[in-house]
Amino acid sequence: MNIKIIALGKVKEKYLSSGIDEFLKRLTPYASVEVVELPQLEIKDENLTTKILDEEGDKILSKIKDTDYVITLEIEAKQLSSVDFAKKLDEIANQGISEIVFVIGSSCGLSKKVSLRADFKLSMSKMTFLHNFARLILIEQIYRAFKILKGEKYHK
């Protein structure tokens, strides 16, 4: 399976990038994972938020193929347990879909255009996480999902 994670902004914190790199390394036996970092646009005027999100959205959509299965991370979306998330990935794979694209929006959210393109909308929690924490948590959960699907031991 091929997985692409499209995220806005770079991870600057060394402890987070170290954790992300560790889980990406652990994922190599299970899937090909590519992280695409796009520049996050600065919003200097709150009245321009929608316009900026749409510009970011166009950049995100340019990285998505028509055949990709797109999962957006959104606050007001479906929450899944780790086991249910694993089942969801398995269900997608069993449909013959070869690439899943996860999209993590900017700290200001996600363009409506990108949300409309989503095949599935996922909420990590009712809690709010720092943008870069969400990336680490997502990658860890993808790794956990593969361990669950393979029946391999991983801490609970």
User: Which segments within the chain are labelled E, that is strand?
Assistant: 2-8, 32-38, 69-79, 99-104, 120-123
pLDDT of residue 156: 57
Q: Is 155 domain-assigned?
A: no
Helix (H) / strand (E) element for 28: namely none
Q: Is 85 domain-assigned?
A: yes
Question: What pLDDT tens digit does each residue of the chain (156 aa) get?
Answer: 899 999 998 999 999 999 999 999 999 999 999 999 998 877 777 778 888 899 999 999 999 999 999 999 998 899 999 999 999 999 999 999 989 999 998 878 899 999 999 999 999 998 888 888 999 999 999 999 999 999 998 865
Residues 122-125: contacts with CB within 8 Å, 24+ apart?
122/71, 122/72, 122/73, 122/74, 122/77, 122/78, 122/79, 122/80, 122/85, 123/73, 123/74, 123/75, 123/76, 123/77, 123/78, 123/79, 124/73, 124/79, 125/79
Q: Which domain holds residue 24?
A: 2-150
Q: Considering its fold, how many domains does the chain have in total?
A: 1
Q: Is 13 domain-assigned?
A: yes
- The CATH number for 58's domain is 3.40.1280.10
Q: Is 53 domain-assigned?
A: yes
Tell me the CA distances in angstroms from 39 to 9, 42, 143, one per residue in order: 5, 9, 26
Q: Is 15 domain-assigned?
A: yes
pLDDT of residue 111: 93
Q: Nearest 5°: phi and psi at 129?
A: -110, 155
User: Which segments within 9-92 are labelled E, that is strand?
Assistant: 32-38, 69-79
pLDDT of residue 1: 87
Q: Is 78 domain-assigned?
A: yes
